[in-house]
């Protein structure tokens, strides 16, 4: 598994959102790749924290709706310091809030010339932050996010501009990745989802719009609205405290640990972290006593490393079960996620459970298909999830897979 992750880390990319240096005039809720989940929709819902720490990842990406769209490799799912490439992955990454841990401008402000973005706020990653007072080209991995707003008093962005340096040589902008999404009402040219650009700066709208503007950064006084602007970056943000609204890294999850709370779990699932885990070879019919129809289980490194043991799982054990409508399906219709949040299982009370099923399912669920979202001490996480999982490994009938025990029926070795 670690070898798999290492291979994936090799291609971290730098995403550049929006042309110009600040602010936005956008509104769009077109975030591809993340499913709206309602945390707390069932009794026992969770908006809590998990013991996760910030981590890095990679994955596959598909890009965008504009010419010059980029499709990333399995190395391009992003990390807390590096956005991924491809709009569907970028949107999930933005929703997870990693960039809010970066250095940022203190507040929303009107766009500084020559920016066309109306109102915005810029966040710079550690690579830009560490080199903000320099004069040379930005190193590989430099990245920034620009939140776009409709007015100074707005509290929620209406769009984003993201940019990432993907090679040490900028190649006149061709080696920067740009993603920008604006409101559908924006006068900026955009597709049906509000996407202005989604690709490397050597072609398409990433070149004709983003690089056409950013190439002048730092070239003269009129194009240096912020100290240190250069090499496609108009506003490098130097050291400042993280945004107060940034998620605690213990809440947002890591490549090896899902977060807690449906609104965080769904973007994490969409980002595909769990697909780097060890998994069953194929979709299969549910093994008794599972009620899940057709599924495929993925186990993280904690379970994988202890799959042949007999004791309780360590803190951080986690699994994802993709739920399918048929053996021939290729896209999951739901998910079941579970995470051990304390060393002592406490009869399931210290396991976090999240399950979402199709609205047509006969399983009890809320208006969003959520069956359970909480710790196993209360609500449906207790009455449905723990009521079933507590028996794992207790006898032959409840050991459908070798090594099943302590709330886990199928550990993947």
The pLDDT score that the predictor gives to residue 76 is: 63
Q: Where does residue 381 rank: exposed (0-12), middle (13-18), buried (19+ CB within 10 A)?
A: buried
What is the C-alpha separation between 71 and 68, in angstroms, rounded?
10
Higher per-residue confidence, 320 vs 63: 320
CA–CA separation, 176 and 166 (whole Å): 6
pLDDT in tens, 318-349: 999 999 999 999 999 999 999 998 889 999 99
Q: Give the Cα-Cα-Cα angle 375, 379, 381 (nearest 5 degrees).
A: 45
What's this model's pTM, rounded to 2 decimal places? 0.48
List, for residues 207-227, the tens digit of each pLDDT value: 999 999 999 999 998 888 888
DSSP state of 256: T
d(CA 56, CA 304): 19
Radius of gyration of the chain measured on its C-alpha atoms: 22
Phi and psi (nearest 5°) for 274?
Answer: -65, -20
- Region 124-153 average pLDDT: 93
Host H or E run for residue 354: strand 351-356
**pLDDT given at position 251:** 59
Three-point CA angle 150, 154, 155, nearest 5°: 130
């Amino acid at each position: 598994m670690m070898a798999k992750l290492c291979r994936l880390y090799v291609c971290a990319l730098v995403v550049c959102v929006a042309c110009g240096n600040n602010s936005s005039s956008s509104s769009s809720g077109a975030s591809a790749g993340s499913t709206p989940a309602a945390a707390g929709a069932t009794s026992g819902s969770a908006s809590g924290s998990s013991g996760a720490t910030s981590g890095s990842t990679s994955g596959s990406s598909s890009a965008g709706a504009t010419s010059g769209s980029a499709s990333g490799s399995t190395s391009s799912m992003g990390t807390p310091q590096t956005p991924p490439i491809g709009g569907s992955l970028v949107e999930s990454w933005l929703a997870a809030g990693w960039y809010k841990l970066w250095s940022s401008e203190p507040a929303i402000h009107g766009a500084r010339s020559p920016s066309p973005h109306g109102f915005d706020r810029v966040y710079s990653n550690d690579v830009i932050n560490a080199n903000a007072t320099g004069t040379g080209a930005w190193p590989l991995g430099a990245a920034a996010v620009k939140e776009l707003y409709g007015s100074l008093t707005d509290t929620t962005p209406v769009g984003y501009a993201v940019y990432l340096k993907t090679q040490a040589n900028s190649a006149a902008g061709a080696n920067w990745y740009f993603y920008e999404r604006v409101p559908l009402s924006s006068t900026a040219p955009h597709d049906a989802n509000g996407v202005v650009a989604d690709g490397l700066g050597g072609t398409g709208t990433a070149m004709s719009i983003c690089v056409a503007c950013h190439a002048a950064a730092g070239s003269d006084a009129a194009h240096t609205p912020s100290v240190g602007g250069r090499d496609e970056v108009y506003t490098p943000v130097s050291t400042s405290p993280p945004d107060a609204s940034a998620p605690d890294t213990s809440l947002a999850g890591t490549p090896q640990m899902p977060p807690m709370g449906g609104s965080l779990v769904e973007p994490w699932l969409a980002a595909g972290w769990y697909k780097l885990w060890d998994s069953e070879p194929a979709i299969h019919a549910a093994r008794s006593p599972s009620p899940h129809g057709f599924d495929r289980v993925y186990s993280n490194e904690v379970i994988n490393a202890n799959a042949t043991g007999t004791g309780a799982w360590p803190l951080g054990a986690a699994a994802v079960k993709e739920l399918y409508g048929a053996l021939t399906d290729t896209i999951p219709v739901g998910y079941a996620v579970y995470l051990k949040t304390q060393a002592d299982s406490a009869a399931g009370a210290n396991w976090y459970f999240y399950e979402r099923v199709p609205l047509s399912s006969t399983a009890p669920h809320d208006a969003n298909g959520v069956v359970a979202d909480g710790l196993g001490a209360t609500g449906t996480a207790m009455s449905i999830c723990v009521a079933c999982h507590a028996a794992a490994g207790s006898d032959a009938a409840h050991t459908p897979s070798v090594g099943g025990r302590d709330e886990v029926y199928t550990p993947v070795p």
